[in-house]
Structure 1
């Protein structure tokens, strides 16, 4: 396999592993948290969570991906470091503005989130994390621009471990001390700033390194990396990438400002609406888990594709895109079918009841279009063909809001799930249409779609069938469901691997591109002889 492809997959592999660990922690901490504070307490936390989610997107994937792209374009280390320095000061200025906006506007935001002023201190608590974004974004982006994904991966894990540990401790102590759910929510959101500080401490070495090389006057006078040129690109390209990476968080923000009131129109009381919204929010960590690979691939894909563009390596560009697109489609499809198959079981294991399983099954369908949008827009970004995409994201949010107004009052919380997936389809169609036609030439083999659908059905029937049988013979207690879930995951993985191999859905190169894929492929080939 080519060196660029190997670098791409190594980078994606590192970020995928870190993402899986972080998302598992993000899902696991919700178990004791939701069980301790209840669905209403979970609702309080999740109402403000999109603001935290936007901060994470900016510091972890949005701005760093843009920074990695612009770093890759520079001819030498001096240019790279000067760009990084100037971006740091611009991001510090923007972060200051975001802090003032969120902290100062907390009462207005709280009123917008269901007319509940008790959410004001919760909103204020999360605002403090914005001060750490310049350090994390520039440190991560600078390292990624040099195709070093390790600092991003480790800092992500440090940040998540610190945040999860603090949140669980706060929930336990708050319940013991009989705090209100709003006090617990305030301190839980404050954990975001503390965790960001821990990650910043780890990234301090990388951040310091951008001031290591003395910059000559000739480099400083380069107009292509002037102060306002850098800001213009940050505002147009960087913020666009942040919006793309945070697309689902932005849709979640729409839910925070609309769903509770619409559920009351549906006929629920205020308390019942908050409870139902808390149940609906269970879907967020599950979708995030399904999106881990897409986020990692898109983060690793952009600097590599941009490098192909800069060096006019069209054939390598097409090959890398096609391989990543096929793998992303297959893996996101299998993740979606797997989550759908085990949803009632995983719902009870994580959150103690099977409430809202139908709406969550619909909700996880968003993994596929969201994944393809991420990959497609990464390609458009590498080709500098993103004009109008920002407005498309805003249009998607407007469509989501409009569909909420139409569907939630008629169908309740499942209407919010349908509005999310339906709002993504127009954007997916436009993004795929805007990709160059040359990328689609011979991008899959004969009968590929039939093999792909058969593989998804195999996983859905295998894992889902086991869950149905297990309910009858093992029972539906929480412990029984945990055993069922573990076995269902193993069945799903085994069926998936066997179907991939038997149907020859992946090429040998694609098998080798997957983590441990070469060992699995060689083992299966030996067993067949």
Structure 2
């Protein structure tokens, strides 16, 4: 948030369009190098530890680290060599080539760090992942913003400003990798193995297991991201060819959509850790054949996801205009263009958040192909809708925001059907959502009235900040009042016993 908000205000809509184009290309190659690694390693390591085979877990890591580092190196070189061609393919101009080349090293760094993170996540140790991500974000913030300002002021070209920001992203990724490598070697020196441990599997056998589990995820993720690239490219061509917009306006609208998606993704800062933690916990329970543990872990993960996602979606929808005015404080035109897109996309926060959690649940069971098929169906639906709606001049880029909502809805419906088929006994997701939704609607009504009342006395930017903090307090109280939150969920949080006592939850 602290990186994206200043950047959007410095670069404007056009500059952010170049920035997001580079990210679209990067995500494709990064998924090739990393999408299967943490999932496969986390699952295999957690199962090995649940069975007391620590040496096996370490060998799984060594084999996967070598494999995915080579894949990351290949992706990095392809991005550098073909940066110009990728830029023209995506936007009909080569303005994004500098940003694409600057982001290429991150593919290698991320492929290596994702193996390390997957290894520690499989051991239910989230500390190195957390610290490395904070380190990465902090360096990205200071280096990226400084370089973006430097290039923008010295050249006046938004495409070079975007490239400067992305250099900061790659530098941050390098130092995150360096930290987690140091952590790994220190922890390895302290690892104690069992005296009598079954012989470890051969490298060939481990490589086979990794590929059997990871390749469907990699192929599926790459295919899904390829569809995302097609979606982005179709949108740009339809805006220019069918809707009759010029190149600069279309790129600016792409920047608005990118901003809306960035704010739309903010709640996932809470959701992704839930889904990340679910996979090894659920895999361990499955390895132990603990039916009660499987049901409790799955139910708790879904309830926690809904408790965060529903109020976030309602809040972003109700206060989309004031939030965009606040975050894009020096770009009022960009704020006005971003706000309706965010309002259209906001309801999809719920379905997108559930998608992360349900994907992890399905993958923990070993059905890695199911989420991929479901997401592919939803993405194809989105591309079809983008083609139709973005070509209508009166709708233009709003069609892409609406298509995002529809596609996530299709994906989660398919995932929920799959969950109830694979893990029978899991409570209804709709049933679990009723009470949090009621609490969120109470929150929305109160916070909007507070915002409107404050605008008579203070600026709208100050009013929305106060309204957001008020919304959090109101939601917590409403969740207790409507019994949307239970003591069991509270006590799983840090200081949970104290919070439950404060809220008088029995």
TM-score by length of 1: 0.85
In structure 1, what is the equivalent of residue 413 of structure 2? 429
In structure 2, what is the equivalent of residue 361 of structure 1? 343
Cα drift, residue 447 of structure 1: 7.9
CA distance 1:116–1:210, change in 2 (3 Å) = farther
Instruction: Check whether the contact 2:34–2:111 (CA below 8 A) recurs between aligned residues.
Output: no
Take 1:333 and 1:380, find their aligned partners in 2: how far apart are those partners? 22
Cα drift, residue 146 of structure 1: 1.1
Residue by residue over 1:129-174, the C-alpha shift from the partner in whole angstroms, topping out at 9 and shown as x without a partner, is 1221243112211111111100000000111111111121012212
Instruction: Check whether the contact 1:223–1:229 (CA below 8 A) recurs between aligned residues.
Output: no
Instruction: Check whether the contact 1:151–1:203 (CA below 8 A) recurs between aligned residues.
Output: yes
Cα drift, residue 315 of structure 1: 0.9
2:92 partner SS: coil
Cα drift, residue 122 of structure 1: 2.0
Take 1:134 and 1:127, find their aligned partners in 2: how far apart are those partners? 12
In structure 2, what is the equivalent of residue 470 of structure 1? 454
CA distance 1:520–1:60, change in 2 (3 Å) = farther
Take 1:201 and 1:105, find their aligned partners in 2: how far apart are those partners? 28
CA distance 1:341–1:250, change in 2 (3 Å) = farther
Pairing 1:376–2:353 present = no
Residue by residue over 1:328-366, the C-alpha shift from the partner in whole angstroms, topping out at 9 and shown as x without a partner, is 112101111111222111101111223121121111222
Cα drift, residue 104 of structure 1: 2.5
Instruction: Check whether the contact 2:33–2:71 (CA below 8 A) recurs between aligned residues.
Output: no
In structure 2, what is the equivalent of residue 488 of structure 1? 467
1:282 partner SS: helix
**Which of 254, 258, 261 is the matching residue for 2:237?**
261
Take 1:214 and 1:506, find their aligned partners in 2: how far apart are those partners? 41
Greater shift in the superposed pair: 162-171 or 57-66 = 57-66
Cα drift, residue 103 of structure 1: 2.1
Q: Paired residues, what number? A: 492
Residue by residue over 1:302-323, the C-alpha shift from the partner in whole angstroms, topping out at 9 and shown as x without a partner, is 0000100000100111011112
Instruction: Check whether the contact 1:340–1:364 (CA below 8 A) recurs between aligned residues.
Output: yes
Cα drift, residue 396 of structure 1: 2.8
2:125 partner SS: coil
Take 1:153 and 1:48, find their aligned partners in 2: how far apart are those partners? 25
Q: After superposition, where does 1:31-70 map in structure 2 within 5 Å?
A: 31-53=5-27, 63-70=37-44
2:251 partner SS: helix
Instruction: Check whether the contact 1:85–1:211 (CA below 8 A) recurs between aligned residues.
Output: no
CA distance 1:452–1:188, change in 2 (3 Å) = closer
Q: Which runs of 5+ in 1 are unaligned?
A: 1-26
Take 2:422 and 2:467, find their aligned partners in 1: how far apart are those partners? 40
In structure 1, what is the equivalent of residue 499 of structure 2? 520
Instruction: Check whether the contact 2:39–2:214 (CA below 8 A) recurs between aligned residues.
Output: no
Pairing 1:152–2:133 present = no
Take 1:275 and 1:221, find their aligned partners in 2: how far apart are those partners? 54
Instruction: Check whether the contact 1:396–1:427 (CA below 8 A) recurs between aligned residues.
Output: yes
In structure 2, what is the equivalent of residue 169 of structure 1? 146
Q: Which runs of 5+ in 2 are unaligned?
A: none
CA distance 1:271–1:161, change in 2 (3 Å) = same
Instruction: Check whether the contact 1:65–1:141 (CA below 8 A) recurs between aligned residues.
Output: yes
In structure 2, what is the equivalent of residue 76 of structure 1? 53
CA distance 1:187–1:172, change in 2 (3 Å) = closer
Instruction: Check whether the contact 1:408–1:416 (CA below 8 A) recurs between aligned residues.
Output: yes
Pairing 1:297–2:280 present = no
CA distance 1:374–1:525, change in 2 (3 Å) = same
CA distance 1:59–1:214, change in 2 (3 Å) = farther
Greater shift in the superposed pair: 400-409 or 435-444 = 435-444
**Which of 301, 306, 324 is the matching residue for 1:347?**
324
2:368 partner SS: coil
Take 1:306 and 1:290, find their aligned partners in 2: how far apart are those partners? 25
Greater shift in the superposed pair: 219-228 or 268-277 = 219-228
Take 1:68 and 1:438, find their aligned partners in 2: how far apart are those partners? 20
Pairing 1:511–2:490 present = yes
Take 1:221 and 1:433, find their aligned partners in 2: how far apart are those partners? 36
Cα drift, residue 520 of structure 1: 3.3
Take 2:202 and 2:3, find their aligned partners in 1: how far apart are those partners? 48
Cα drift, residue 440 of structure 1: 6.2
Take 2:389 and 2:55, find their aligned partners in 1: how far apart are those partners? 55
In structure 2, what is the equivalent of residue 394 of structure 1? 376
Greater shift in the superposed pair: 219-228 or 146-155 = 219-228
Instruction: Check whether the contact 2:390–2:397 (CA below 8 A) recurs between aligned residues.
Output: yes
**Which of 294, 300, 315 is the matching residue for 1:323?**
300
In structure 1, what is the equivalent of residue 264 of structure 2? 287
CA distance 1:297–1:449, change in 2 (3 Å) = closer
RMSD: 3.0
Residue by residue over 1:204-227, the C-alpha shift from the partner in whole angstroms, topping out at 9 and shown as x without a partner, is 224436876899998455478433
Pairing 1:403–2:378 present = no
Cα drift, residue 288 of structure 1: 1.7
1:148 partner SS: coil
Pairing 1:497–2:480 present = no
**Which of 438, 451, 474 is the matching residue for 2:435?**
451
Q: After superposition, where does 1:144-223 map in structure 2 within 5 Å?
A: 144-208=121-185, 219=199, 221-222=201-202
Take 1:416 and 1:92, find their aligned partners in 2: how far apart are those partners? 35
Instruction: Check whether the contact 1:60–1:152 (CA below 8 A) recurs between aligned residues.
Output: no
Instruction: Check whether the contact 2:299–2:426 (CA below 8 A) recurs between aligned residues.
Output: no
Cα drift, residue 42 of structure 1: 1.5
